[in-house]
Chain A
């Protein structure tokens, strides 16, 4: 009984404190003359690795912009409000509701997984608040004709392969390809895009299979795939599964002329760490690499590594570039209302570390930047750009040596 009483007291105390804190947030604690930008990212949960990298990059870009005097507009300071969506879509909805209705943000950004980005985009459009998506790459997000939803640094998933197709047409000229992909929105969209591109070019898809998110044993699938004898494997995976697939291919001594990942896991530093030497010569499409020639890319990579003691990949670059786009749009906006910011975003024409960004309407997309993609290849533990040839940092290796001949 005594225990219960103490416990009750503590519970009441916690709730009281939490309520007080909550009221403080909603009240006048924040200065009224700030331009608030709400950013929803997965800071906890299974996607926290990506969310934290993006939050760090936002903050880094913000500090640089502040030093350059670009975060104060007519005496009002840009203020970033981060909200954690825990990688869950209903939490993303709550976070969006809070930012728009409670904090009264001028605009929104963030969005890592496609599911969360879908929900944030839908809520933002319904409440006519401009939203600039960072990573969520489901095709649908910018295909709804939603005028308040913008996507600059992320390509629609089916458009990740622009540079890859150039390379395939000029160098590889495959006849038989295999497609494997994680059974998620991103995996399905990517695989669908690649499959259609194959059909257009008359390339045989000899193996086409989805696998469950979080799977660890790929040997049965890989053995079946080997029987179909593909020249090229296109795989869409996150980090752990990507590493498992290439490791198990090595164990099975399953050789192809080229193995290409569809972004996401195959470019992460964690992929190299987990896959070890099986990562050698694995290629991937990507939206960004530190060695691209866009001004500032190299500085970003070095500064990030210095500051956070970790290597960023394209996800971090997306957040970093997005912060610059936001600051640019807010500085140009005639008036800081939802339509004013929307207009300024629409007129964006800026060069970032991810290349030039403009929001255009094309092929059924609305407010979608035309993505620039690259093909990269792991060589001696480094991610080298091999295509387009004009920006390459190393020559491509094709066909890749067989596992036993290395």
Chain B
């Protein structure tokens, strides 16, 4: 069984790698690139929010800082924004350091509120600071316009993010994080330095969110503070993506991002003005009936399918 699983995973990887060579349609590739970007943000958020239980409403701050690191390089210095792929994540980590020290003194809803405020603070800062070009944002003409390139960059970034997250979760840190989520006081009494380990979750989370931001800047080629530091369209959306896919699961955020982007796009192009409404209703239904997300409920889903088969077999007997 384990071998079959591994084989399936390898097969999936091969498919994903050769996919852009088979479907050359730029529109479909564009959708997949968006999925990659959101999957990276979702996976990063999941490390902090899902495994360590520190629900952040302010990941837009890291996303935006990453995006602006790339954008400002080009805007002020004329340096290719691709260097932002390096600088963006580092900038996000630098930003997250003091935040971790301060905000992790808070718990539960207070932590969530502090992070929410953080995202808004960054939005206001970037609107008003002199060197960010304010609300006018940064518009560039990307040097590379083939979708295939962004596809592979996005894929590599996603695999790296998932890989690092997987490694962290299956190391000692991962167990510490889960114990903090389940009962922080018990974890402390066992001698786990909780604030330190929460920071160990925050730093990679900020790093990869910044990476996604830099990729976003390079790909979409226009950002302004109201877009990248947006509360609903970034900070809350990433939570939706993770909830939909499955909290504290390795591939949940990726599955969630795929569903979110594909369904959103399909509804938008087919349902006219009702698209947002239908989409919202569907998300409500998923949360109602699959509270642990698609991947989180996978065993239950398998059970449903298996029972169906049993039922069918039973029918034949009678």
A interface residue numbers (CB < 8 A to B): 1, 3-5, 7-8, 11, 14-15, 18-19, 21-22, 25, 43-45, 48, 83-84, 86, 88-91, 93-95, 97-98, 100-102, 114-115, 118-119, 122-123, 125-127, 138, 140, 144, 146, 183-185, 187-189, 210, 212-213
0 or 1 for each of B292-307: is its CB under 8 Å from A? (1 = yes):
0000010011011001
Flag if B27 contacts A144 (CB, 8 Å).
no
Residues of B within 8 A of A126 (CB): 141-142, 145, 221
A94 and B265 contacting across the interface, CB-CB below 8 Å: yes
CA distance A135 to B136 in the complex (A): 16
Contact yes or no, A144 B269, CB < 8 A: no
Contact of A18 with B267 in the complex, beta carbons under 8 Å: yes
The A-contacting residues of B in range 286-318, CB under 8 angstroms, are 286, 289-290, 297, 300-301, 303-304, 307-308
Which residues of the other chain, A, contact B285 by a CB distance below 8 angstroms?
7, 11
Interface size on B, residues (CB 8 A): 48
Can you name 11 A-B pairs with beta carbons within 8 Å? Answer: A3-B289, A11-B286, A18-B270, A84-B272, A88-B233, A97-B27, A100-B27, A183-B127, A184-B135, A187-B135, A210-B128
Taking the nearest CB of chain B, how far is it from the CB of A313, in angstroms? 21
User: Is B227 touching A115 in the complex (CB atoms < 8 A)?
Assistant: yes
Say whether A86 contacts B300, CB under 8 Å: no
Closest to A89 in B: B227
Q: Is the CB of B139 within 8 A of A140?
A: yes
Assembled-state Cα–Cα distance A94/B26 (Å) = 11
Residues in chain A near residue B224, CB distance under 8 A:
115, 185
Contact B134 A188 (CB under 8 A): yes
CB distance from B233 to the nearest CB of A (A): 6
B290 touches A101 (CB 8 A): no
CB pair B220–A119 under 8 Å, yes or no, is yes
Is there a chain A Cβ closer than 8 Å to B275's Cβ?
Answer: yes
Q: Are B30 and A5 in contact (CB under 8 A)?
A: no
Q: A18-B263, A18-B270 are in contact. List 13 more A-B contacts (CB 8 A).
A: A1-B300, A1-B304, A4-B300, A15-B263, A18-B266, A44-B275, A44-B276, A90-B220, A115-B137, A122-B141, A126-B142, A184-B135, A185-B136
Q: Which residues of B contact A1 (CB under 8 A)?
A: 300, 303-304, 307
| Contact status B145-A127, CB under 8 Å | yes
Q: How far is the CB of B196 from chain A (nearest CB, A)?
A: 36
The residues of A that contact B307 with a CB separation of less than 8 Å are 1
**Cβ of A101 and Cβ of B25 under 8 Å apart?**
yes
Max chain B C-beta neighbours (<10 A), residue from A83, A98, A210: A98
Assuming the A-B contacts A98-B269, A119-B220, are A86 and B276 also in contact, with contact meaning beta carbons closer than 8 angstroms in the complex? yes
A122 to B139, CA, bound (A): 8
| Chain B at the A interface: SS class | helix
Whether a CB of chain A sits under 8 angstroms from the CB of B31 is yes
CA distance A88 to B237 in the complex (A): 13
B199 at the A interface (CB under 8 A): no
Residues of B within 8 A of A144 (CB): 139, 141
- B270, A25: Cβ atoms closer than 8 Å: yes
Cβ of B226 and Cβ of A91 under 8 Å apart?
no
Q: Which residue of B lies closest to A103 (CB)?
A: B27
B203 in the interface (beta carbon within 8 A): no
| Chain A nearest CB, measured from B297 CB (Å) | 8
List CB contacts (< 8 Å) of B180-230 with chain A.
220-222, 224, 226-227
Q: Name which residue of chain B comes closest to A45, CB basis.
A: B276
A5, B308: Cβ atoms closer than 8 Å? yes
Q: State the Cβ distance, B314 to closest chain A Cβ, in Å.
A: 16
Q: How far is the CA of A95 from the CA of B227 in the complex (A)?
A: 17
Kindly supply a per-residue 1/0 record for chain B positions 95-137, scoring 1 wherever the CB is within 8 Å of any chain A CB and 0 otherwise.
0000000000000000000000000000010011000001111
The answer to whether the Cβ of B282 comes within 8 Å of any Cβ in the partner chain is: yes
Residues of B within 8 A of A212 (CB): 124
What is the CB-to-nearest-CB distance from A364 to chain B, in angstroms, rounded to a whole number? Answer: 15
> Which residues in B have their C-beta under 8 angstroms from that of A98?
27, 269
Least Cβ–Cβ distance between A37 and chain B, in angstroms: 17
Contacts of B31 in A (CB 8 A): 94
Q: Do A86 and B141 form a contact, CB below 8 Å, given A4-B290, A118-B222?
A: no
Residues of B213-253 contacting chain A, CB below 8 A: 220-222, 224, 226-227, 233
Q: Which residues of B contact A95 (CB under 8 A)?
A: 268
Partner of A84, one of B137, B268, B304: B268
A43 to B272, CA, bound (A): 8
Contacts of A114 in B (CB 8 A): 136
Q: CB-CB < 8 A to B267: which residues of A?
A: 18
Residues of chain A within 8 A of B297, CB atoms compared: 4
Chain A residues near B141: list those with CB within 8 A: 122, 125-126, 144, 146
Which single residue of chain B is at the shortest CB-CB distance from A116?
Answer: B222
Give the distance in Å from the alpha carbon of A50 to the alpha carbon of B142 in the complex.
30
User: Could you tell me the distance between the alpha carbons of A126 and B307 in the complex, rounded to whole angstroms?
Assistant: 52
Contact A21 B289 (CB under 8 A): no
Residue contact B276 to A213, C-beta cutoff 8 Å: no
* A45 cross-chain contacts in B, Cβ below 8 A: 276
Q: Nearest 10 pairs between A and B by C-beta?
A: A101-B27, A101-B26, A18-B266, A97-B30, A7-B289, A102-B27, A126-B145, A21-B270, A118-B222, A185-B136
Distance between Cα atoms of A212 and B297 in the complex (Å): 43
Cα A143 to Cα B135 in complex, Å, equals: 17
Q: How does the 8 Å CB contact mask read for B253-290 relative to A, with 1 for contact and 0 for none?
A: 00000000001011111101101100000100110011
* B222, A122: Cβ atoms closer than 8 Å: yes
Distance between Cα atoms of A138 and B134 in the complex (Å): 13
Residue numbers in A under 8 Å from B304 (CB-CB): 1, 4-5, 8
A146: chain B residues at CB < 8 Å are 141
B21 to chain A, nearest CB (A): 17
Inter-chain contact B136/A189, CB cutoff 8 Å: yes
B90 within 8 A of A: no
Q: Does B61 contact A (CB under 8 A)?
A: no
CA distance A198 to B263 in the complex (A): 51
Closest A-chain residue to B38, C-beta based?
A90
Q: Nearest chain B CB to A72's CB is how many angstroms away?
A: 26
Which A-chain residue is minimally distant from B276 (CB atoms)? A44
- Chain A residue contacts of B303, Cβ below 8 A: 1
Decide: B273 and A44 in contact? CB cutoff 8 A.
yes
Cβ contacts under 8 Å, A89 to chain B: 220, 222, 227
Chain B: CB-nearest residue to A91 = B268
Residues of A close to B282: CB separation below 8 A: 11, 14
B126-170 contacts to A (CB < 8 Å):
127-128, 134-137, 139-142, 145
